[in-house]
Structure 1
Amino acid sequence: MNISEIRAALDAVEIPRSTRTLGGEKAVQQVEARSDGLHIRLQFGFPVAHIGQELAERVQTALTPLTGSTPVHLGIDVLIGTHKVQPGVTTIKGVKNIIAIASGKGGVGKSTTTANLAAAMSRMGARVGVLDADLYGPSQPTMLGVADGKPSQENQKLVPVQAEGGIQVMSIGFLVDTDQAVVWRGPMLSQALQQLLFQSEWDDVDYLFIDLPPGTGDIQLTLSQKIPVTGSVVVTTPQDIALIDARKAVDMFQKVNIPIFGVLENMSVHICSNCGHAEAVFGSDGGKNLAAKLGVPLLGQLPLSLPVREAMDNGTAFAMQQAQPAIAGIYTEAAWQIALAVADKGKDFSSRFPRIVVE
């Protein structure tokens, strides 16, 4: 076997659900002929569990003309790095990348989107966390099925509650009576958000999704100034009034140098459960047009769905995605595009720099 020819064939293999190749991603780490066959090891900077089988088939197809009946042993490693954040903000121990999920107004399904993106990313093989920053209306504990959870303490820090799929969840909802109103002014909200993030014992989280409250107020300002954000996702409905507010969220991120990974259009169409008729209740393609105007990807167009609503009320996001492959596919594709966008950002090496003390 000619190892150089095999490497060339591997480099040309396209990664499923993308226009990328193994060579372009520098994924081929090892090609070695042994007595029991050909051993190949690939390495990626993003989760690939959802495309693992298809990827293996493409590798086999590409190599068969060169290797014939020789057994091929394929190993895949995933090594997700810490990527650059806005200038002047340092990264957090135990958290590699933070993705802010935002909207300009309430009621567009931002929290639902956060929970389902987290579930999808976890199913893809990543280590995932969710920080519920909607301090006035924390909903992630309910949506992720851990409403009765309580964080334990370790090293004088709070240990996030574990949800299904190993998702690490931290929310003010674990610490206060959710039936009581949170009557706090801006500085208290900002301090609470920082405590939830910095005083939690996150365990090697690849992607931490932050569910932001609607608007562009104190929480969002704290996020941009104090918290290392890798990038953001803007959630909107196709409705004109939602798009007006979504543009404000976009403008905020642009002003504070936080990249926008894409727009996700929620409630794009309602499909009647009786007759199957599809109706664009909130208008058509508003999120698509916003994404085109901004020059960012449209991450998906999600239907107004009864199973999704029921899953959020019951805390069964994983079960819903298993039972509803079409809906799960949209969330998985959105999470996949986010993971690729994060991987394309420059690496953050600030943790390796020596500390300089002036005496």
Structure 2
Amino acid sequence: MSEGNLTIPFFQSLSEFVLPLAISFYTFQMIAYLVDAWRGKFSESPFIHFLLFILFFPQLIAGPIMRHDDFYDQIDRSKLTFDFVQRGILHIISGLIKKVLIADQIAKMINPVYANPGEYDGVSILLTTFAFSFQVYGDFSGYTDLARGSAFLLGYEIPENFRSPFLSVSFTELWSRWHYTLSTWIRDYLYIPLGGNRVSELRYNLNTILVMSLSGLWHGNTYTFFLWGFFHGIFLSIERFAFGRPDRKSMSNLKKLFAVIWIFSIFSILATFFRIDTLEKISTFWTAIVNVKGKIIYKPDFWGLIIGSYIIQMIEYKQYFAETLKPYTTWIIFFLSFFVYIALSKIEAPVETFIYFQF
């Protein structure tokens, strides 16, 4: 406290409140549980089953957000099969590749840019914006794969959370592929109770902006998170007004390509509000895009990480492991395990913490 200037630091910003680790994930899970019980979707729930459902450790810290019907039916009949062992190991390998070999390596390149944007050239500023999207995808999708893989090895199957989001041709499709369990939670417990698609066009747009803004606040109690969600709601509303419901099947390959680039570009630009916590810092970051000289990040290893991330999403989109390559799963596990072991042995510590642990 200074003389003549009474300040209470604890209340200067809501972001200074200390909250329990991963409180948003299990809070949403328990809200869904209570609402589903109130709606009559289930009538019996032994307390020990409830504890297992809420405290199931693979997904406890960062999801996916489970529902009662995602888990309860498996409790009394869960068993470890050879298929689950294979799927579990593949998911864990996938998670390590996404998180440690891609997301963490991208972070090492772009963290210094966010810390001192004025020292880098404009192209690096722009590429950093796009690269952060790949970092978040690899980090969070990697955690989900690790969680699902651990669950498989315990005899349980928990929901997937990402479905090749950067191949989306519309914002609507993007939010059916990015953090899927949060998107469906918002749809079922916020959007539909507000009227869903059965309201006027104006009410639909207002509801969309409202629930996306709340989605932003779910990620963090700062106004930049709110703006991140708010602008996503705006773009969803504009898309519906201008194009209705874009249909991938009716698009030519060229239109799909341009649509993918457009959606990914807007997503990455808006991710600035996700990454930087004040408008002043965001302004400083984007002002540096006019720099014609400075350090650069776009070296071969940078492009290799970006291309690697896209290849992984294309493999997931086509579901090669589930169909075409399934007969060769044992050999794939062997070679991928060897590759990951060699790669990890060459990685310099420390690794980055999971981004979504803060939520």
With structure 1 as the length reference, what TM-score do the two structures score? 0.25
Q: Indicate the structure with greater helix content.
A: 2
| Structure with the larger RCO, 1 or 2 (CA within 8 Å, 6+ apart) | 2
Q: Indicate the structure with greater strand content.
A: 1
